[in-house]
Amino acid sequence: MITEYTATGKPFIHYHAAHCESGVTSALFRNKGVDISEPMAFGIGSGIFFAHLPFMKSLGHPVSTFRSQPGAIFRKTVKRLGGEFVIKSFRDPKKGMDELRQVLRTGQVVGLKTNLYWLPYISERFRFNFGSHNLIVLREIENGFRISDPTFEYPVDCSAEGLQKARFARGPMEGSGYMYYPKTVKLNPDLREACIKGMKDSCNMMIRIPLPFFGVRGIRFLAKRVIQSEGKLGIDEARRNLGAVVRWLEEVGTGGSGFRYMYAAFFQEAAELFGSEDLAELSHEMTVIGDTWRDFSVMSARIIKQRNKPEETFAKAGGLMLICAGREENFFKNLDQVARKLKA
């Protein structure tokens, strides 16, 4: 928690968060006086998901994402908590930057969608072409902007050219200078109803999409592909493919174990909110699922490091994923029952 100031001298508190989108959403709401934490925003926005898309490539490997599509958490949280947001995108970079400066001068903080590669303040280990990184601009400073990037511990400075390049970079998921800020938000929103909606939506997304790529079916689909990958692709390519899966699981701002720990944190808060034993029980269950995913990532890391131990094989790694799939299916079936009984 670090206190920063906007252009008109209003305080803004920078909270460290695990994920960019839920972090920005929660920070914007908190700045307007609605105190929701990051896991809460993640749960209400139904962030948890799984999809394996063999036809979509990132850095040459299929995409396997552990959260819903970019922008959905923000959109759903706003819809469920109530509030009016100004959302704009631009074709002309100059117009986009002028508009940003104008809004900042009124003392309003602005959320932006940027390309991670072009942000000047990050280091080499973060640099990859990902077009949907969210951050908050606090105020204009000399030759640049003061930025609160919730994925990092401290607020940072960013040059104006760098930010412009990051906002208007072309490519998959391009931002076109997408910016958003709250006009009004509903004070004292009905958190309980929003939580129930978020939970039910997550159940639908995880167990009721009748396609093999999404939800629990997607996990099983990927597990089978991991088990077969050694024979099909050869050991080196199979290792690289497995590395890509673990990157989506651990590296891209998931807060550990593909958002599963964050979701467990959401259930802890929800259990307090509803005073419900069932939800506390579900939180423990989600922690166990997170631990299983962690086991999978550690085993995969060992396979990639080529320790050549007989007990670490692709079949075992895939087996751990199948265990995760089974547990998650159970979890979301239970959650579906519990969420029906909760009273808003």
Partner 1 sequence: MEYDKIFNELFDADGLRKGYYKLDGQGKYVLDTNPTLGEAVVNGLMLTELRTHLEESRKAVHAGLKSPLFYYMELRQFDLPTLAKSAGIASFRVKRHLRPEIFAKLKPSVLERYAKVLMVTQQELKTVPDI
Site for partner 1 in 142-201 (CB under 8 A): 151-153, 165, 169-172
Site for partner 1 in 39-58 (CB under 8 A): 39
Site for partner 1 in 57-96 (CB under 8 A): 59
Contacts with partner 1, 94-133, as mask; x by CB under 8 A:
-----------------------x----xxxxxxxx----
Nearest to 12 by CA among 182, 124, 142, 138: 138
- In 153-243, where do the E strands start and end? 156-159, 179-185
The dihedral over CA atoms of 303, 307, 312, 314, expressed in degrees to the nearest 10, equals 30
Near partner 1 by CB under 8 A: residue from 253, 274, 314, 318? 253
Question: Least distance in Å: CB of 152 to partner 1?
Answer: 5
Closer of 108 and 114 to partner 1 (Cβ): 114
Contact 173, 132 (CB under 8 A): yes
Strands 110-114 and 133-141, bridge-based pairing: antiparallel
In the block, which residue shows the tokens 């850095």? 59
Sign of the CA dihedral running 78, 84, 89, 93: negative
26 part of the interface to partner 1, by CB under 8 A: no
- The Cα-based distances of 178 to 9, 170, 244 in angstroms read 25, 12, 28
Closer of 108 and 285 to partner 1 (Cβ): 285
Helix 215-233 / helix 235-246 crossing angle, nearest 10 deg: 150
287 part of the interface to partner 1, by CB under 8 A: yes
Interatomic CA distance for residues 300 and 318, integer angstroms? 10
Of 77-85, 212-220, 239-247, 314-322, which segment contacts partner 1 by CB under 8 A?
239-247
308 part of the interface to partner 1, by CB under 8 A: no
Question: Least distance in Å: CB of 237 to partner 1?
Answer: 12
- Residues near partner 1 (CB under 8 A): 16-18, 39, 59, 117, 122-129, 151-153, 165, 169-172, 240, 243-244, 246-247, 249-251, 253, 255-256, 261-262, 264-265, 268, 287, 294, 297-298, 300-301, 304-306
